[in-house]
């Protein structure tokens, strides 16, 4: 299928051939008929991408600070590499889509194959969306006009926050597409409306919808509002303009009456003047996209609706409201459509938006005869007999793009597939950049391909366990990124499956074992006398509580999802497996408890280690610091950039570019497959480390020490 993608690094807008996405749980697959280009938002993204690095930096000062912090901790070259990789990625354009449902996933309610629906899907011939981000188009509503539903819902949400009443006077500051919809919706609410814009053409349309108008190029907007309201001031101002100036928010405050309301829907400068708001006791609120539910994974991804008695208007209900207004004729879209283009003419459409200020609604029309394409051939290399590792990478997220794929390309593996169910643009991008043969959205076909003997899994945490079992049962060697599993039951199923396929290589991505600093530390510590004492400090950084990593069902939490790295590494350093865990975390005055935890671990050979996993630190401080105490000597590893010794006679210090062992890890894993060697990490160690991460959570929550063999005796009995 074809999809419009924007490259933030090069500025290129591309109509790319990518795989048709697959339907997941709670999702539907839509064959697009029309989509609307958002002249404001999309023009801004395209222009941002065309700017140079300095222009991009000026536009995102908060990102610049993050980059400077990362340079201090990680070094210049790794930071620049990260920045360039993040810029060099395909960004899907568009969020106003209408089409017909051709496939329905599990647990979808109220939508059937054949329904015409609107969604926030991108400009693509096929899109997958969760059920709460789409709505059925009523019979009689023109699908072309229905393409305006999502954009119009942004306007509707602004009005819901403004709470207009019959007879009130509202100013709409900026009458692009959203502003012109706002004018109509305010009129439908019984309000008088004054539209402000510098475009004469747009003001004429606003007048046709019954609004008073003001062009600030010829009339002072404040004087106009004072005259319009007989000196009382407007009841409210809804700002839909896009500008860097702070003058718009200042003028909006000047226009309002005492206790007036200002709602920001657009993007403007916000250097607020206290006196503007203090003297009139004005209220100011920023509107969030389509309405309640936006950016809430439970609502959008898991389909958990809000009770109508508590949250009357959600994203989906706003979509349905707009469609109802279209059906009754209370919302007139036809005057807003200024141009129509075929999908293949997309470059002309974006050029028009960038060069013609009169452009408003630009509709893209789609060919209904385009087939579903689950595989996209990227290269035409033939499998070579000497390539004993023929690999597929499942998952095209940030880790695959930033770390895994760049490392895999340096191994001796034949990279045949990269698969992702929903992120087809990223899969195609990675395939082209790192020379995978095929980008696909059909994971089952990858596992059924007998030529593939190795699978690398880098998907969401909640999918790891099933993909591990499916891959082993398909006869593949398996490399899975941490965590291995999120529950004891999942872990038990993995062990049972592995017991039947133990001749295949199996590994978790515990890359730090393979870093040069750890290799040297192991050498220096060889032959130590008394047990080791280890301290692993992770300055983890704050992640908001709503992010998926904290979701027990999706991410498993940061201890299970990341701290397992450090538990494993200490076990590798001391050549032993964990046997008991005692952990402590915050129990009050914090929105997240478990991401500030101290984990004390005893290993079977008597060594002890402590992981301090703290998310309440400062980014300018190194993320990982390891101290190892042994026989009157100390080794310190600083962020995998420097190894320093105290008391070791033949070694003092080594300093180098940050290296967490990723490349070495993948090279050794592929080499092991080619040579037919055993697992790089014994399977029992992988299981015990995973259990130790579970135990850390249990120990911290229940305030007790966990003996792994007693707590998880049934799991250990499964190990052969």
Tell me the per-residue pLDDT of 198-228, one tens digit each, with 9 for 90 and over.
999 999 999 999 999 999 999 999 999 999 9
The reported pLDDT for the residue numbered 358 is 87
The pair of structure tokens assigned to 111 is: 């939508």
**pLDDT tens for each residue of 138-160:** 999 999 999 999 999 999 999 99
> Residue 294: CB partners within 8 Å, gap ≥ 6?
288, 300, 315
CB count in 10 Å sphere of residue 122: 20
pLDDT of amino acid 56: 57
Predicted local distance difference test score (pLDDT) of residue 88: 75
- pLDDT confidence band for 90 (50 / 70 / 90): confident
Residues 312 and 163 in one domain: no
**Angle, alpha carbons 112-97-428 (nearest 5°):** 95
Same domain, 507 and 523: no
Whose CA is closest to 464, among 344, 555, 397, 329?
555
Measured distance CA(226)–CA(221) in Å, rounded: 9
Distance CA 121, CA 112 (A): 18
* Alpha carbon distance 409, 435 (integer Å): 8
If asked whether residues 399 and 495 sit together in one domain, one would say yes
Q: Are residues 653 and 522 both part of a single domain?
A: yes
Phi, psi of 449 (to 5 degrees): -80, 115
- In the three-class reduction of DSSP (H, G, I as helix; E, B as strand; rest coil), residue 370 is classed as coil
Question: Quick check: is 669 in a domain?
Answer: no
What is the reported pLDDT for 589?
78
- Kindly report, residue by residue over 16-69, the tens digit of the pLDDT: 999 999 999 999 999 999 999 988 888 878 877 767 766 656 566 666 667 677
Contact 35, 147 (CB under 8 A): yes
The model's confidence at residue 322, banded by pLDDT at 50, 70 and 90, is very high
CA distance 156 to 178: 9
What is the per-residue pLDDT for 17?
A: 94
pLDDT interval class at 84 (50, 70, 90): low
Q: In angstroms, rounded to a whole number, what is the distance separating the alpha carbons of residues 63 and 664? A: 31
Whether residues 127 and 236 fall in one domain: no
Maximum separation of any 2 CA atoms in the chain, in Å:
90
Average model confidence (pLDDT) for the chain?
93
CA separation for the pair 292, 287 (Å, rounded): 10
The strands making up 234-239's β-sheet, listed across from edge to edge, are: 212-214, 192-196, 169-173, 234-239, 256-264, 283-286
- Domain boundary (511, 545, 569) is at 511
Render 136-154 in DSSP notation, one character per residue.
EPPTTS-HHHHTTHHHHHH
Which domain CATH number covers 413? 3.40.50.720
Are 124 and 99 in contact by the 8 Å Cβ rule? The answer is no
User: What is the model's pLDDT at position 587?
Assistant: 83
Q: How far apart are CA 693 and CA 560, in angstroms?
A: 5
Distance CA 442, CA 12 (A): 28
The pLDDT, as a whole number, for residue 47 is: 78
Write phi, then psi, for 417 (nearest 5 degrees).
-125, 145
Mean pLDDT calculated for residue range 262-278: 92
Q: Is the pLDDT of residue 291 over 70?
A: yes
- Assign residue 563 the CATH number of its domain: 3.30.360.10
Does residue 89 share a domain with residue 235?
A: no
Taking the CB of residue 613, how many other CB atoms lie within 10 A of it? Answer: 23
Residues 703, 557 share a domain: yes
- Residue 701: which pLDDT band, with cuts at 50, 70 and 90? very high
Is 370 within a domain? no
CA distance 32 to 143: 10
Residue finishing a domain among 244, 266, 286 = 286
For the segment 509-532, what is each residue's pLDDT rounded down to a tens digit?
999 999 999 999 999 999 888 999
Which residue range is the domain that position 159 belongs to? Answer: 151-286
CA distances from 135 to 28, 146, 149, 651 (A): 11, 10, 9, 67
Q: Report helix angle 564-573 to 683-702, nearest 10.
A: 120
State which of 482, 511, 540 marks the end of a domain: 511
Express each pLDDT in 544-593 by its tens digit. 998 999 999 999 999 999 999 999 999 999 999 999 999 999 987 788 88
**Please, which pLDDT band fits residue 383 given cuts at 50, 70 and 90?**
low
CA distance linking residue 67 with residue 87, whole number of Å: 13
Cα distance between residue 626 and residue 584, in whole Å:
19
Kind plus residue range of the DSSP H or E element containing 158: helix 149-162
Residues 176, 92 share a domain: no
Q: What are the distances in angstroms from CA 650 to CA 432, 523, 632, 647?
A: 47, 12, 15, 9
Buried-exposed string 238-248: b where 16+ CB fall within 10 A, e elsewhere: bbbbbeeeeeb
483 upstream amide cis, omega within 30 of 0: yes
Other beta carbons within 10 Å of 309: 6
pLDDT in tens, 447-504: 999 999 999 999 999 999 999 999 999 999 999 999 999 999 999 999 999 999 999 9
Give the pLDDT score at 290. 93
Residues 709, 572 share a domain:
yes
Beta bridge mates, 646:
634
pLDDT category at 78 given cuts 50, 70, 90 is confident
* 3-state class (DSSP) for residue 648: coil
Query: For the chain, how many structural domains are there in total?
Result: 4
pLDDT computed for residue 704 by the predictor:
97
Which tens digit of pLDDT belongs to each residue from 155-174?
999 999 999 999 999 999 99
Helix (H) or strand (E) holding 613: strand 608-614
Cβ-based neighbour number of residue 462 at 10 Å: 19
The verdict on residue 374 lying in a domain is no
Burial of 443 (0-12, 13-18, 19+ CB in 10 A): buried
Which residue is associated with the tokens 């954009």?
A: 151
- Please report, rounded to a whole number, the percentage of residues in the chain having pLDDT higher than 90: 84
> Is 620 within the bounds of a domain?
yes
Q: What share of the chain is helix, strand, coil (3-state, %, to 5)?
A: 40, 25, 40
**Bigger pLDDT: 675 vs 45:** 675
Phi, psi of 395 (to 5 degrees): 115, 120
Is 376 part of any domain?
A: no
Q: Which pLDDT band, with edges at 50, 70 and 90, does 650 fall under? A: confident
Distance CA 480, CA 499 (A): 17
Q: Do 646 and 698 share a structural domain?
A: yes
Range 232-238 average pLDDT: 97
Q: What is the pLDDT of residues 405-430, one digit of tens each?
A: 999 999 999 999 999 999 999 999 99
Considering only 178-192, 385-399, 492-506, which range has the smallest mean pLDDT?
385-399
C-alpha pair distances (Å), 27 with each of 107, 156, 228: 8, 25, 49
With beta carbons less than 8 A apart as the criterion, state whether 95 and 109 touch.
no
What integer is the mean pLDDT of 176-192? 97
461 in a domain, yes or no? Answer: yes
Instruction: Spell 687-713 as b/e; 16+ CB within 10 A means b.
Output: bbbbbbbbbbbebbeeeeebebeebbe
Let me know: does 598 contact 610? Beta carbons within 8 Å: yes
Name which of 108-122, 356-370, 633-647 the model is least confident about: 356-370
The torsion angle over the Cα atoms of residues 480, 397, 70 and 561, rounded to 10 degrees, is -40
With respect to residue 339, please indicate whether it lies within any of the assigned structural domains.
yes
- Would the pLDDT of 242 be above 90? no
* 705 and 616 assigned to the same domain: yes
Q: Evaluate if residue 319 carries a pLDDT over 90.
A: yes
Q: Is residue 66 in a domain?
A: yes
Pair (136, 168) in one structural domain: no
Q: Kindly state the DSSP code that residue 124 receives in the 8-state scheme.
A: B
Residue 272 has pLDDT above 80, yes or no: yes
């Amino acid at each position: 299928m074809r999809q419009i993608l924007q490259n933030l690094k090069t500025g290129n807008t591309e109509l790319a051939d990518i795989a048709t996405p697959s339907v997941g749980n709670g999702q539907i697959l839509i064959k697009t008929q029309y989509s609307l280009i958002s002249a404001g938002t999309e023009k801004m993204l395209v222009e941002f991408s065309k700017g140079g690095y300095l222009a991009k930096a000026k536009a995102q000062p908060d990102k610049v600070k993050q980059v400077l912090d990362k340079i201090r901790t990680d070094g210049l070259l790794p930071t620049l590499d990260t920045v360039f990789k993040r810029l060099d990625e395909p960004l899907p354009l568009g969020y106003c889509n209408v089409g017909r449902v051709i496939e329905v996933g599990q647990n979808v309610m109220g939508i059937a194959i054949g329904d015409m629906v609107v969604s926030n899907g991108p400009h693509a011939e096929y899109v997958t969306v969760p059920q709460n981000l789409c709505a059925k188009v009523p019979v009689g509503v023109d699908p072309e006009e229905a393409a305006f539903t999502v954009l119009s819902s942004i306007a509707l949400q602004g009005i819901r926050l403004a709470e207009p009443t019959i007879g009130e006077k509202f100013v709409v500051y900026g009458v692009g597409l959203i502003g012109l919809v706002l004018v109509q919706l305010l009129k439908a609410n019984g309000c008088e409306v004054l539209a402000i814009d510098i475009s004469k053409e747009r003001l004429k349309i606003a007048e046709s919808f019954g609004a008073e108008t003001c062009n600030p190029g010829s009339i002072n907007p404040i004087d106009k509002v004072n005259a319009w309201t007989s000196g009382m001031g407007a009841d409210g101002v809804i700002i839909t303009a896009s500008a860097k100036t702070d003058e718009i928010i200042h003028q909006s405050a000047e226009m309002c009456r005492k206790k007036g309301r200002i709602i920001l829907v657009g993007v403007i400068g916000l250097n607020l003047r206290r006196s503007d708001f203090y003297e009139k006791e004005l209220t100011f609120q920023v509107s969030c996209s389509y309405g309640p539910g936006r950016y809430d994974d439970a609502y959008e991804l898991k389909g958990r609706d809000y009770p109508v008695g508590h949250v009357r208007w959600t994203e989906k209900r706003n979509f349905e409201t707009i469609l109802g207004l279209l059906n009754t004729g209370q919302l007139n879209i036809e005057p807003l459509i200024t141009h129509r283009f075929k999908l293949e003419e997309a470059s002309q459409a974006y050029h028009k938006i960038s060069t013609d200020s009169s452009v408003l609604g630009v509709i893209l029309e789609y060919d209904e005869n385009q087939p579903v394409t689950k595989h996209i051939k990227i290269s035409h290399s033939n499998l070579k007999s000497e390539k004993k590792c023929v690999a597929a990478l499942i998952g095209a997220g940030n880790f695959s793009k930033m770390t895994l794929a760049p490392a895999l390309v340096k191994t001796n593996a034949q990279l045949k597939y990269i698969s992702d169910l929903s992120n087809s643009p990223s899969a195609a991008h990675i395939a082209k950049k790192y020379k995978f043969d095929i980008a696909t959205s059909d994971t089952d076909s990858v596992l059924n391909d007998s030529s593939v003997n190795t699978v690398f899994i880098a998907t969401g945490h909640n999918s790891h366990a099933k993909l591990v079992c499916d891959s082993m049962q398909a006869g593949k060697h398996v490399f899975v990124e941490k965590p291995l599993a999120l529950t004891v039951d999942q872990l038990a199923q993995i062990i049972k499956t592995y017991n039947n396929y133990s001749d295949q290589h199996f590994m978790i991505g515990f890359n730090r074992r393979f870093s040069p600093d750890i290799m040297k530390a192991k050498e220096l510590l060889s032959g130590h006398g008394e047990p080791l004492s280890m301290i692993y400090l992770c300055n983890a950084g704050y992640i908001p509580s709503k992010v998926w990593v904290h979701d027990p069902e999706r991410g498993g939490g940061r201890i299970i999802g990341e701290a397992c790295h450090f538990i494993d590494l200490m076990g590798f350093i001391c050549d032993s497996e964990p046997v008991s865990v005692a952990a402590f975390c915050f129990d009050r005055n914090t929105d997240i408890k478990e991401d500030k935890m101290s984990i004390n671990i005893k290993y079977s050979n008597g060594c002890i280690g402590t992981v301090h996993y703290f998310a309440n630190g400062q980014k300018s401080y190194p993320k990982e610091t390891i101290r190892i105490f042994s026989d009157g000597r100390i080794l310190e590893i600083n962020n995998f950039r420097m190894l320093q010794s105290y008391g070791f006679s033949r070694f003092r210090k080594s300093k180098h570019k940050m290296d967490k062992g990723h490349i070495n890890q993948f090279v050794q894993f592929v080499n092991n497959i080619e040579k037919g060697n055993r697992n790089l990490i014994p399977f029992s160690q992988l299981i015990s480390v995973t259990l130790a991460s579970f135990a850390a959570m249990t120990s911290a929550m229940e305030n007790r020490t966990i003996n792994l063999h007693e707590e998880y005796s049934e799991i250990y009995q499964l190990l052969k």
